[in-house]
A = this chain, B = another copy of it.
Amino acid sequence: MKKIIIASTSTLYNGAYLDYLLPELRIHFKEVKELIFIPFARPGGISYDEYTAKVSSFFANLNIQVKGIHEFENPKQAIANAQALFTGGGNTFVLVDMLYKYDLFESIAESVSKGVPYLGTSAGSNICGLTMGTTNDMPIVCPPSFKTLGLVSFNINPHYLDPVEGSTHMGETRETRINEFHCYNPQAVLGLREGSWLEVIGDTITLKGNLTARLFQQGKEPIELESGTDLSNLK
């Protein structure tokens, strides 16, 4: 049975790393002794070792040992044997490029479909959608494709941001960008605000956290979804 957490962000304003998700993660990773971390997104360009150490220090709270995927000679095998998986945030283009380089998309999707619990935050959540086409990141490297894991049948926009009232900036708002996405792509886009996450248990997808999320569908006005909404049939 699939067990996935797709979080908008790893960290809340004034919060510590993953802290707001701690109660959920205790349940999500209950039986887990060892977790494989995918540090490829490298936020701020930090090294895989540094990033893995940060994650390791958090998971010590749950008595879970963390190994970075870069520490394995055969990453595909490591994914296949994993007890649990976590893909951290950073730059989605860099993350997707590396996952293609190591040819890991299929391996991850397969493990997750077999019930290996998965956690994604930010870029690691973006790749749970059909494509990375609704990332907010800068295209600092060019991956061979924007196709991603498709663990859910729609796209994720993490760190969803409402238009800033009274802004004099002429660049596009997030909503404008997602509407432009729908000129070229049919799938729904879920704007997840910082503090929201999706919980996937088997075939059931539920919006969690204290906030509403903004749903964009091609040819329709966007709507706000209450926490607790069942998104299992969203496409």
A: residues with CB less than 8 A from B are 9, 11-14, 42-45, 90-91, 93-94, 132-142, 145-146, 159, 161, 164, 168-172, 176-185, 194
Contact = CB atoms under 8 A, between A and B. Distances in A.
Given A91-B180, A179-B44, A184-B94, A139 B139 contact: yes
Contacts of A182: 45
A182 B140 CA distance: 8
Contacts of A170: 9, 11-13, 159, 194
Chain A interface helix/strand/loop/mixed:
loop
Given A137-B177, A159-B169, 11 more contacts: A9-B171, A12-B170, A13-B169, A14-B168, A44-B176, A91-B180, A133-B142, A136-B172, A140-B180, A159-B171, A164-B164
B184 A138 contact: no
A45 B132 contact: no
A226 B159 CA distance: 34
A9 B171 CA distance: 8
B136 A171 contact: yes
A171 B140 CA distance: 16
Given A146-B139, A180-B91, A185-B140, A161 B168 contact: no
